[in-house]
Amino acid sequence: MSKEGSLEAPTRHPIPWTEPDFLDDGKIDAELRRVFDICHGCRRCFNLCDSFPRLFDLIDDSPSGELDTVHSSDFKPVVDACTFCDMCYMTKCPYVPPHEFDLDFPHLMLRYRAAEHAKGQVGFQRKQLAQTDRNGKWAAKVSGLANWATAEGNHGMRNMLGDLAGIHPQAALPKYHGKTFADRAGEVPALITALRPWPGAAVFKAGTQRRRHGSGLSIVLRHAPVGTGRSGSGGGKRPQGRR
């Protein structure tokens, strides 16, 4: 007897990217249709990323109002709208593993894009924009100029970016900072180590987005009742007077 999901912790299966069928177009299309049909019948994710409104509009506007009259060639905008935030998997979807439906929407979108890349369907612009760590490192060295060029009010530069890089002129782009999040965290007097945190410690992983654009969080942490610092810098000792 099946039961409603999301009552247990999700189980994340490893991505089987080495298996021969992983990039098979027919298998991918069949899995897209299986997952999309489940999503169509549920719709709990309607208010997350734009993948879901696009999918539901695509189905609702089809001749039958069902997935069977939607062409597979129309799936790409749904895939492109996925930001891999994982909110659908972690918080919304009732059919993630260990449920028998075994639904993992973000991993399926990743599989579709991997197949695109393998077939040489990813253009030069998209490949360069995907180099977020490199781009952030370069832009941080000239953060003032980069922020001026990418400001929404700078219509001339934003239109040029739209033509050269395919970035929408009205897209909200993150601000760059000369000092990374790790640099700013290291300036806070109370230090911690992420390797041996004590009960109640807040540990943040400074990924690409946080390293280049996360100055605001370090400012908040200066006034929050938690210790902050670089991994390994505090030797595992609890900062005195900060719990």
pLDDT tens per residue, range 103-140: 999 999 999 999 998 888 878 887 887 788 888 888 88
Q: Measure the CA–CA gap between 18 and 7, rounded to whole angstroms.
A: 31
Query: For tokens 């299966």, what's the residue?
Result: 13
Region of residue 169 (left: phi > 0; alpha: psi -120 to 50; beta: else)? alpha
Q: Which residues of the chain have pLDDT under 50?
A: 1, 191-196, 232-243
The pLDDT value given to residue 143? 86
- Determine the Cα–Cα distance for residues 123 and 172; give it in Å rounded to an integer: 22
Q: What amino acid occupies position 143?
A: S
Interacting residues of 111 by C-beta distance below 8 A, sequence separation 6+: 15, 22, 23, 28, 31
What pLDDT score was predicted for residue 36? 96
CA distance 131 to 79: 20
How remote is the C-alpha of 157 from its chain's centroid? 26
Report yes or no on whether pTM surpasses 0.85: no
At 195 the pLDDT is 43
Closest C-alpha among 73, 79, 46 to residue 60: 46
Tokens coding 45: 């994710």
Largest CA distance in the chain: 67
Q: Where do the domains of the chain lie?
A: 20-118, 124-165, 177-243
Q: Measured between alpha carbons, how far is 133 from 140 in angstroms, rounded to an integer?
A: 10
Helix (H, G, I), strand (E, B) or coil at 205: coil
pLDDT computed for residue 200 by the predictor: 54
